[in-house]
Amino acid sequence: MTRALFIIDVQNDFTEGGALGVVGGAAVASGISQYLQVHHKRYAHIFASRDWHDAESDNGGHFATDAAPDFIETWPAHCVADTQGAEYHPELDTSRVNVHILKGQGRPAYSVFEGVTNAGRTLTEELDILAITEIDVVGIATDYCVLASAKDAINAGRSVRVLRDLVAGVAPGSSAEALAELAKAGAAIEHS
């Protein structure tokens, strides 16, 4: 089996009540857990990413410090390493996750491919080692990190499916545009 699941940024700060909470984030966390209870054997490996930003810097301009955030390239502080906001949402069961990816760490990072494993390998290195050729993508936010991660997976030569009922976005319009862009790039957009 060469299929993997990418769980993108299902963290407290990206769910309701968090620093950048999206509507439906908690439901996505719960939905992914329910999905994995039934379908975990579909996957050779399950990856989960987290933003993991530095507390003592603007993270390469990612955190707005001198002006209000523009919510395009600059953001309020979020997912600061070792804080409650950076932890996985409590409804997300991570017991089946084989590979954890941390991204950010002092710089802007949207795609899971910009992160590193606990062993310090890039995601591409890990996928090559594990011979992963097919990837299903779920998580938060459809119009930012899910979009960037799925595009990079396609660009890395993998077959990609986005499970549309297990993603949540910042805004309905930009989320629909993101899914359309991914479909045009070759991803399958399917129900779980």
pLDDT per residue as tens digits for the range 141-167: 999 999 999 999 999 999 999 999 999
CA gap 169, 152 in Å, rounded: 18
pLDDT for residue 62 is more than 90 = no
Report the range of poorest mean pLDDT among 4-18, 56-70, 176-190.
Answer: 56-70
pLDDT tens digit sequence for 70-111: 787 887 888 989 999 999 999 999 999 999 999 988 788 899
CA gap 63, 49 in Å, rounded: 19
Burial of 143 (0-12, 13-18, 19+ CB in 10 A): buried
On whether the pTM is more than 0.85, the answer is yes
Average pLDDT, the chain: 94
pLDDT at 1: 62
pLDDT at 139: 98
Q: What does the DSSP 8-state code read for residue 19?
A: T
Quickly name the fold that domain 3-190 has. Answer: Rossmann fold (3.40.50)
Residue 173 contacts residue 136 (beta carbons within 8 Å)? no
Catalytic residues: 9, 103, 145
Average pLDDT over residues 26-47: 97
Q: What does the DSSP 8-state code read for residue 169?
A: -
Unique residue bearing structure tokens 């002006």 = 67
